[in-house]
Amino acid sequence: MNVLSSLILSTVEVANLLPLVAVVICVGAMIMFLAKAAVILRVQADDTLRPSTIPTNPNVQVPRLKMTRVHIPFTFRLLETGNNSFEEVRLAVSSQVKYQMAAFWAVSIRELHMSLWRTWSELREQTRLSVIVDSAHCQQLATNVRCQQPHSETVVALKSPKPPLLLGAPPRLAYPLVVFMIRETETDELLHPDETVILVNVVHLRDPVCPLPTSILAQYLKQASGQLSCLKVRPYTLFVLMLVVLNYCQ
């Protein structure tokens, strides 16, 4: 009888403990869940702040921009004088290599840009046989000096052609003055593809129709590889360039 009573009491005590055990199990499960969630969030945060060094897709390559340092052996600038007009233009030029300087009055805009995209070998051959701009695409040759040895800055004065230039009202089809500085090489001389071979200087000249100040309208750089680049201009020059282009193209 005593044994039976003890068994009944034990069963009742166990039944009373079941809710407490259930609460302990639930609390433990919740703590484990929160700990696991915290670990997952920590791993994701680490991946975000510190990208993995292992690429997710080895077949996808990140685009890269190749920068190349280009040496320009020529310098060209307009002398800041009030006399720069159609009567006379004064330039200051220098070169670190043997070169040819050719300047042309009233050059066809269309033909100039088309010719600049030709290869260096084609342009070099044309300069050896005649001049870089065909006479049909300009009004007159201003100067063409070959076999210029390297020199420091020198002043060059270009006299206006006779009869005077007649560019007409906008839209104009010709640049007033274009000056080429062309590197001279031997027939069998090989140049690095990044070497500068031509510096093209497009000059706007003040006139009654377009009275903006005389300035360099644009400069183009030709490399031996055939690459054609437009050089940067100062903010003021860029502003003048925009106004001049509007006058030429409106």
Contact 101, 154 (CB under 8 A): no
Higher-pLDDT residue of 247, 22 = 22
Residue 207's pLDDT is: 81
Q: Look at residue 16 and tell me whether its pLDDT is greater than 80.
A: no
- Six token digits for residue 57: 């897709």
Higher-pLDDT residue of 143, 11 = 143
Share of the chain above pLDDT 90, in %: 39
Residue 88's pLDDT is: 83
Residue 120's pLDDT is: 92
- Six token digits for residue 137: 């695409």
Q: What share of the chain is helix, strand, coil (3-state, %, to 5)?
A: 35, 30, 35
Residue 213's pLDDT is: 84
For residue range 92-104, list pLDDT tens digits in order. Answer: 999 999 999 999 9
pTM for the complete prediction? 0.67
Paired sense of beta strands 151-159 and 196-204, if any: unpaired
For residue range 191-220, list pLDDT tens digits in order. Answer: 889 999 999 999 988 888 888 888 899 999
For residue range 156-204, list pLDDT tens digits in order. Answer: 999 888 777 878 777 888 999 999 999 998 877 888 899 999 999 999 8
Residue 233's pLDDT is: 55
Instruction: Name which of 111, 133, 103, 127 is nearest 201 in CA terms.
Output: 103
CA–CA–CA angle 167, 168, 173 (5° rounding): 60
Q: Which run of H or of E encompasses 241?
A: helix 235-249
* Residues 74, 104, 120, 63, CA torsion sign: positive
With cut-offs at 50, 70 and 90, classify the pLDDT of residue 237. very low
Q: Look at residue 115 and tell me whether its pLDDT is greater than 60.
A: yes
- Range in 13-27, 116-130, 181-195 with the lowest mean pLDDT: 13-27
Share of the chain above pLDDT 70, in %: 69
**At 217, is the secondary structure helix, strand, or coil?**
strand
DSSP string, 114-138: HHHTS-HHHHHHHHHHS-SS-GGGE
With cut-offs at 50, 70 and 90, classify the pLDDT of residue 117. very high
How many angstroms separate the Cα of 92 from the Cα of each of 44, 145, 158, 232, 238?
A: 63, 15, 11, 19, 21
For residue range 21-72, list pLDDT tens digits in order. Answer: 777 787 777 787 777 766 666 656 555 555 555 455 666 666 666 667 788 9
Q: Look at residue 15 and tell me whether its pLDDT is greater than 50.
A: yes
Residue 150's pLDDT is: 96
Residue 240's pLDDT is: 46
Higher-pLDDT residue of 28, 79 = 79
Instruction: Name which of 59, 238, 9 is nearest 246 in CA terms.
Output: 238
- Six token digits for residue 76: 């060209």
